[in-house]
A and B are shown apart, each in its own frame.
Chain A
């Protein structure tokens, strides 16, 4: 099913949207990811991921008002929806569970 699986990059984008809390739009998300992860990200990849997340219902978007910034072009702001938060939590829980299952001696 489309709604259930979350790819690695999608997860990162979703996290970035959550971090930016209300101020998340294409350029800001790109910058956030680049800073947090220290790697370059293509805008196209970010937009594609946002598009998929929206299709899955994990984020919702709304056009912002016109501002003087960027030549008057409007921004599209993204917010994490309740199912999005649930998905993030779920992933974290699964990860934690797996970490916990690693046998002690091997990890030291």
Chain B
């Protein structure tokens, strides 16, 4: 036929017809279309014929043409129970037949999944800090920036007077609460403890935050002076199972009686507000520190504001400058400082605020761990894909037979996906068990109670289940398509071998896997050296073999110090208000600078005795330290560090000696300059620091330098001395080096976590490689046999394989 010369109808329309038209109708309809087309070409022209052809095709898109005629034979439904059953049976048999591979697969996957599970919980924990507060989106922390000619201080605390006045003057503020954490001695009968987390809180604490009072009235519990609310845990400590309500206990060194007015649930682990005992704020502002409420320059309390619903925080904060000018303008000008208030949303404080806090997270850590989790999972998935495709050769024959007896590709694909999902689900079960076992360790490792157990983390388990099924599907897709695409003829002839492409892909995946592992190793090394650097770096003072005891002040302390000196093993003692690593404490100071003006600033202050500078091994670079031979030292002298001298504009530290200063009611001259030392964590810069002599009422930290030898005995005799002199107070002490390194706790935890997870990642990738290697070995069994017969030694075969 000379059909080729004839004009043909548009191809695409024809294709469209085949696409939608039912198979039993397509022949006659296509025939009709073509016949009409040819006729029309003859008497109406090609263009018209084409046009009519297209119109006709479109006019055929009707239900009757699309609907397929029912087949004579019943079509097997895609999900037949028997077939599914068979799929599962085959899957189980296969897994069991290749136990080693299944084991490697399941182990890798479950370890990867449980690592992911733990990290997911950690990330969730970090991201939901304080989120348990229902009004969290309306709560703001009122922070302060304090600017003086010398520096800008970014405080997380604010002045006592701010919040009450803000509430009085602005309708936007619904409530506020101020929190001040102190270390207080609490006595109840024979029980006495130093409560590090004694928190003074306004009575509106329960209005702002969602803390639950089990006993007592939330409105009045913290209202009256000297009323105390215990957390459940603390209540147990003091009262065991007795009812603490209405009981009296003695607060502080003076032993002021206080009444228990409430018991609250222990604070959630992911609450920034930590506390064991809450004392009414009125006890502080009206008794312990009377009048502090009216002092606009006394910064000491963390303030939380609860804004009314709908109040615009941005608009509200524009009113602050006028508010401050109104109340504290005069003071600010006198002291040459400028206060500005900043509202930080509660939910952002933990992860995003750089201001000093009892506990703060790091958003980049959260990201890093998420990435690590994804990497680990990726490595586990790559293992899975590799092992499955590598084994595909073995199953090629099965596929060939199945295809020969009529299995369509879709059914084969389904079978392989079912197999991989099954494997993932087995891994899921193990992963959950593994997580359940490792949660306590993980809590310890991360230093937080992230989870109380798998049972309480059901949403995560559900999430993991979905992830497992997804991994099964995704990881199963590639093997499924590769396997189901085998040509039965080739396979059954036995001429089948793995394609070069498949091997390339596997090698590529293994390479990717190991690059990820190596990247993790490098990152671990970097983190490790960083932490190690911080630990071993010379800080500029000696912290070894030093014991710090929380003692009393004044004459009692002096007597205690004296008695210690007589003990063997005690080299020297020193008293101070703070030791390196303590929370910062600043004093408003005026000092003569290089221009001869009195420069103001808020400087770090240490009150110390004669021994302190010497005992801590600080180097005096100019002038001298406090000395008993100068009678005026105890009331007039000041020692500064190099940073402070630099701040005042002196090139050489010598220039600063003899200059005038004013600080906390004292006036005098600078008598010496000490070399800069790291009194805060290494991550922070060395800031200006001043040493003044102790007042009679402060300096309760007694540092004891111990000289080697029998350490235990020395400690015991110190404790004995303490008990002798202070029978009514607990002996609490810490070691200087541990105390200082505590600042690196979070870094160390980060390092450890990172290290552990990297090890896991490497473990999983090694597992995968082991699987692949043992597989290729079994593949080459015949080759090895031939080689051995020909006289190859075991050694040479080992070389060949590795």
Contacts and interface: CB of A to CB of B under 8 A. Distances in A.
B65 A70 contact: no
A48 B62 CA distance: 8
A25 B62 contact: no
Interface in B54-80: 55-62, 64-65
A89 B721 CA distance: 129
A43 B60 contact: yes
Contacts of B64: 47-48, 51-52
A73 B56 contact: no
Contacts of B65: 44, 47-48
B58 A27 contact: no
B55 A76 contact: no
A68 to B, nearest CB: 8
A38 interface: no
A25 B36 CA distance: 12
A45 B59 contact: yes
A73 B34 contact: yes
B226 to A, nearest CB: 94
Given A44-B62, A48-B62, A48-B64, A75 B36 contact: no
B382 to A, nearest CB: 53
Interface in B35-58: 35-36, 38-39, 52, 55-58
A43 B28 contact: no
B33 interface: yes
A74 interface: yes
Interface in A25-78: 25-27, 30-31, 40, 42-45, 47-48, 51-52, 63, 68-71, 73-76
Contact of B59 (A26, A27, A44): A44
B358 interface: no
Nearest to B59: A44
B55 A27 contact: no
Interface in A1-40: 25-27, 30-31, 40
A71 B39 contact: no
Contact of A47 (B29, B35, B58): B29
Nearest to A73: B31
A71 B57 CA distance: 18
B59 A42 contact: yes
B58 A74 contact: no
Nearest to A44: B59
B27 interface: yes
Contacts of A30: 32, 36
Contact of A74 (B28, B36, B59): B28
A30 B58 CA distance: 16
A73 B1 CA distance: 15
B34 A70 contact: yes
B334 interface: no
Nearest to B35: A27
Contact of B35 (A44, A48, A70): A70
A50 to B, nearest CB: 9
B232 interface: no
A30 B61 CA distance: 17
Contact of A27 (B1, B32, B62): B32
Contacts of B27: 73-74
Contacts of A71: 3, 31, 34
A25 B56 contact: no
B350 to A, nearest CB: 68
Given A27-B36, A31-B36, A73 B60 contact: no
B145 interface: no
Mostly helix, strand, loop or mixed at chain B's interface?
helix
A44 B34 contact: no
Contact of B33 (A43, A51, A75): A43
Interface residues of B, number: 25
A25 B32 contact: yes
Nearest to A54: B64
A76 B28 contact: yes
Contacts of A45: 59
Contacts of A26: 28-29, 31-32
B30 interface: yes
Q: Which of A25, A40, A70 is most buried by chain B, counting CB atoms within 10 A of its CB?
A: A70
Contacts of A51: 64
Given A43-B33, A71-B3, A63 B59 contact: no
Nearest to B55: A42
Interface in B637-656: none
A71 B38 CA distance: 12
Contacts of A68: 1
B427 to A, nearest CB: 55
A55 to B, nearest CB: 9
Contacts of A74: 27-28, 31
B62 A75 contact: no
A44 B20 CA distance: 13
B56 A43 contact: yes
Nearest to B62: A48
A47 B30 CA distance: 12
B55 A73 contact: no
Contacts of A44: 56-62, 65
B28 A63 contact: yes
B405 to A, nearest CB: 33
Most chain A C-beta atoms within 10 Å of own C-beta, residue among B28, B30, B57, B58: B28
Contacts of A43: 29, 32-33, 36, 56, 59-60
Nearest to B57: A44
A84 to B, nearest CB: 19
Given A27-B36, A44-B65, A47-B65, A70 B59 contact: no
Contacts of B28: 25-26, 63, 73-76
Nearest to B67: A51
Chain A CB count within 10 A is highest, among B27, B32, B59, B65, for B32
A31 B29 contact: no
Contacts of B59: 42-45
Given A25-B28, A73-B30, A47 B36 contact: no
A90 to B, nearest CB: 25
A31 B39 contact: yes
A42 B31 CA distance: 15
Interface in B586-627: none
Interface in B1-33: 1, 3, 27-33
| Max chain B C-beta neighbours (<10 A), residue from A25, A45, A47, A74 | A47
Nearest to A77: B28
Contacts of A75: 28, 31-32
A52 B3 CA distance: 35
Contacts of A48: 62, 64-65
A18 to B, nearest CB: 19
B40 to A, nearest CB: 10
Interface in A59-108: 63, 68-71, 73-76
Interface string B709-745: 0000000000000000000000000000000000000
Interface in B287-318: none
B60 A70 contact: no
Contacts of B33: 27, 43
A51 to B, nearest CB: 4
A72 to B, nearest CB: 9
B719 to A, nearest CB: 103
A66 B1 CA distance: 16
- Chain A to chain B: the 3 pairs with minimum beta-carbon distance, closest first: A44-B59, A73-B31, A26-B32
Given A27-B31, A27-B36, A44-B58, 13 more contacts: A26-B32, A31-B39, A40-B52, A43-B56, A43-B60, A44-B59, A44-B60, A44-B62, A47-B64, A47-B65, A68-B1, A70-B35, A73-B27
19 contacts: A25-B28, A26-B32, A27-B31, A27-B35, A27-B39, A30-B32, A31-B36, A40-B52, A43-B36, A43-B56, A44-B62, A47-B64, A47-B65, A48-B65, A70-B31, A70-B34, A70-B38, A73-B28, A73-B34
